[in-house]
């Protein structure tokens, strides 16, 4: 499994919003400057996260984005699934995939299912608040 730039940037943006979480909207320009990511790229990520109900956005003066839950209520798994799609390690386990005709005799399927469960359990066990700790590397983090 390989997490794309989109997924990694989404995590950086969400950590940034969590670190500056005070109930006020945070300007996109400020996030872009702190994270050194193209504004156009971040706008696309914010659209996806907003549509999924992860963020509140407001246009105009005083606008921007803010978390609509506490940082400890967001899991890395849910953020990655929004930006990356299903985290299945093989196509036949992906959401909505048709069952493989060889599934009954597939000797590797149990292994892939276990890996899939481990991936989801691992990422769902980490919150934004966990990544905000001092052990996370402060404001100059790279994911």
Q: How far apart are the C-alpha atoms of 38 and 30, rounded to whole Å?
A: 12
Please name which of 32, 15, 26, 14 lies closest in space to residue 63, comparing C-alpha atoms. Answer: 26
Question: 131 and 79 in contact (C-beta within 8 Å)?
Answer: no
What CATH number does the domain located at 5-136 have? 1.10.10.10
Backbone angles phi, psi at 133, to 5 degrees: -60, 165
Q: What is the pTM of this model?
A: 0.86
Helix (H, G, I), strand (E, B) or coil at 85: coil
pLDDT of residue 23: 85
Instruction: Report the percentage of the chain scoring pLDDT > 70.
Output: 93
Backbone angles phi, psi at 39, to 5 degrees: -60, -40
Question: 65 and 55 in contact (C-beta within 8 Å)?
Answer: yes
Please name which of 65, 76, 71 lies closest in space to residue 10, comparing C-alpha atoms. Answer: 76
pLDDT of residue 142: 54
Write out pLDDT tens, residues 106-121.
Answer: 999 999 999 999 999 9
Write out pLDDT tens, residues 46-96.
Answer: 999 999 999 999 988 888 999 999 999 999 999 999 999 999 999 899 888
């Amino acid at each position: 499994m390989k997490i794309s730039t989109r997924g990694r940037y989404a995590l950086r943006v969400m950590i940034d919003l969590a670190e500056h979480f005070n109930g006020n909207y945070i300007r996109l320009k400020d996030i872009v400057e702190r994270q050194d990511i193209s504004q156009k790229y971040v706008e696309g990520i914010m659209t996806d996260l907003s549509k999924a109900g992860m963020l509140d956005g407001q246009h105009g003066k005083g606008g921007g984005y803010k978390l609509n839950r506490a940082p400890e209520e967001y899991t890395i798994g849910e953020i990655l699934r929004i930006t990356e799609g299903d985290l299945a390690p093989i196509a036949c386990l992906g959401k909505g995939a048709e069952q493989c005709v060889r599934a009954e005799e597939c000797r590797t399927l149990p292994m892939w299912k276990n890996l899939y469960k481990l991936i989801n359990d691992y990422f769902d066990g980490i919150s934004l608040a966990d990544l905000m700790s001092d052990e996370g590397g402060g404001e100059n983090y790279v994911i």
